[in-house]
Amino acid sequence: MIKIGRGIGPITLSIFFLFAFVVNGYASVQCVECHEEMGADHAASIHKEIQCLECHAQAAEEDHEQFVFAQVDCRQCHDPHDEKLIHDAHSRVSCNACHIKGGIPAVDPESKRIISSRMFRPGMTLPPHQAIQSKIDELCGNCHFQRNTLGASSMVLPPKSILCMPCHVATFSVNDKTTLVFLFIFLVGMVGLGMVWFSGSMDKRVLWTNEKTEPETRFRSDALSPFKLFQALKMIFLEVFLLKRLFQQSKARWIIHSLIFFPFLFRFAFGLTALLCSLFLPDGSVSAVMLDKNYALRALSFDITGLMILTGSLLAFVRKKKNSEGIIASLPEPGRGMSAMIGLIVFVGFILEGLRIAMTGWPGGAEWAFLGYGISLMFRDMTGLTDIYGFFWYAHAILTGIFIALIPFTRMSHIITAPIILIMKEP
């Protein structure tokens, strides 16, 4: 099929009518000979300069009546919205639920998808022909209002920001106030930590005698040699990713760290991959699967990793300190406050997941999120879930922001400094 571009002028259009679609044997002017009411509808629509066969390619068949009225996939021309634009993938929301003039969003009882209640019937205008473009904020109110039955939060929530990336499929955005405030505190703390780091350590006699000492440098002329780079990469893999030294010193502490660290590492890698796929392959099947919270493998893996983090946090909190067991040179002793906060963040996250599953009507695949699904059953007969969801979402986001903001000011800063120290101490 020969395609024409959008925004073409009347002269180009006339030429196109004369010479285009020779292979298929049809031009739009021929279509309206039979479909007059649709022709008038199409001529007044935002798609008026798009040829009929651009969207209805199968209508070129001789017996094409069954294809003409088939639902057209808008993604033939339009990429799906990314999460930065509309907070979430909206994978269960059809295009016409938001972009049809006069349409009222409703839940399809079979697929549980959000569709436009303005369905096509013979004699009425085709909804896709009446598609509209509007500001996102204006469209959000169609679904996000109090006491809605669509399973949408009554609050219009911001996109998951860069602070959410360690655990979720998030974006690089920093537009919401929660992210801006806590990211600013974190950066101030990191600047202070860096100043302390680069100031070096002082000998006690310097403090008393005011004696000047020459700073010691760790840089050597062979530091950038291929062998040294290989050694550095090996050290990063063994010490940072596999926590080798921690395992050698304290297997119990290594298990606790692993229950927290490895799930975070998996979720971060998954989220970053999904984000990149959504940006560069927005219409790909892999992107759709990775963004779908109800896809079985994703739902199961995220619940398992969440449960691992929760278990590790609980063990870190209740584990009694022993005299010297688990203490490693240049690393801080394990603290309890930040571990408890990690557990609290994950706990609120599971409640959020249960609320989401319940208020969206227990969609297919959600049962694989076994813990979230179990929590959702507690909300089975409750009303107003869409109204309280936003409060739990912000509680989860604020707790996460507080945790990240406190990293430079607490023992948790070792997640940044410890890898550097371990590598620098390697001969």
The answer to whether the Cα torsion of 220, 223, 227, 230 is positive or negative is positive
Average pLDDT score over residue span 87-115: 77
Is the pLDDT at 294 greater than 80? The verdict is yes
**How confident is the prediction for the chain on average, in pLDDT?**
77
What single-letter DSSP state applies at residue 189? H
Is the pLDDT at 243 greater than 50? The verdict is yes
Place of tokens 């990429």: 79
pLDDT > 90 in the chain, percent? 30
What is the band of 300 on the pLDDT scale with cuts at 50, 70, 90? very high
What is the band of 112 on the pLDDT scale with cuts at 50, 70, 90? confident
Angle (deg, nearest 10), helices 251-280 and 296-318: 150
Instruction: Considering only CA atoms, give the Rg of the chain.
Output: 29
What is the band of 425 on the pLDDT scale with cuts at 50, 70, 90? low
pLDDT at site 271:
92
Question: How far separated are the first and last CA of the chain, in Å rounded?
Answer: 66
User: For residue 119, which of 140, 102, 137, 139 has the smallest C-alpha distance?
Assistant: 102
Q: Which residues have C-beta within 8 Å of that of residue 227, sequence separation ≥ 6?
A: none
Average pLDDT score over residue span 89-105: 76
Q: Which residues have C-beta within 8 Å of that of residue 330, sequence separation ≥ 6?
A: 418, 421, 422, 425
CA 36 to chain centre: 45
What single-letter DSSP state applies at residue 332? P
What is the band of 141 on the pLDDT scale with cuts at 50, 70, 90? confident
3-state secondary structure of 250: coil
pLDDT > 70 in the chain, percent? 72
d(CA 216, CA 199): 11
pLDDT at site 98:
79
User: For residue 161, which of 151, 153, 169 has the smallest C-alpha distance?
Assistant: 169
Render pLDDT for 40-85 as a digit per residue (tens, 0 to 9): 777 777 777 777 777 777 766 666 665 555 567 777 777 777 666 6
Residue predicted with more confidence, 73 or 317: 317
pLDDT at site 5:
42
The answer to whether the Cα torsion of 226, 229, 233, 239 is positive or negative is positive
Is the pLDDT at 319 greater than 70? The verdict is yes
Render pLDDT for 207-242 as a digit per residue (tens, 0 to 9): 344 444 444 444 455 556 777 778 778 888 888 888
d(CA 294, CA 196): 46
